[in-house]
Amino acid sequence: MPAITEAQVEAVRAWVVAIPAGRVSTYGDLAAAAGLTNPRQVGWILRTDGADLPWHRVIRASGRPARHLGAEQLARLRAEGVLAIAGRVDLATYRWRPTGQTR
DNA sequence: ATCATGACTCTGT
DNA sequence: AACAGAGCCATGA
């Protein structure tokens, strides 16, 4: 069986979808919310099965977008009302934390 | 089984 | 603040 089950993938997808517009979340938070132990698994899931998700609301713990996404993600966030200062999002303001609403 | 790569994060320098 | 190293887990060759 695969190391990452569909249940885990669905959990991550559900959390990403649950992020409100104008807010962002980090890989680490999503990993914890979905029951994953490693943020890299979240990255893998988004790369593999996240094409149809609002992945632009998922950023790194540094407040910076994922490496290959770069400015495009910041532009998308800015269009939703997330102001990026010097290429980084103010996590203290925009970070959204899973509150257990979907389970 | 081993090695390299990757949408990450932490800690130390 | 910037850079490097290590830890972490999954995948593909």
| pLDDT tens by residue, A59-84 | 999 999 999 888 899 999 999 999 99
Evaluate if the CB of A54 falls below 7 Å from strand B. no
Q: Could you give the CA distance from residue A60 to residue A82 in angstroms, rounded to a whole number?
A: 15
Confidence (pLDDT) at A49: 93
Give nucleotides in strand C with any atom < 7 A to a protein C-beta.
7-11
Nearest to A14 by CA among A64, A47, A49, A38: A49
pLDDT tens-digit map of A18-47 = 999 999 999 999 999 999 999 999 999 999
Q: Are A91 and A3 in contact (CB under 8 A)?
A: no
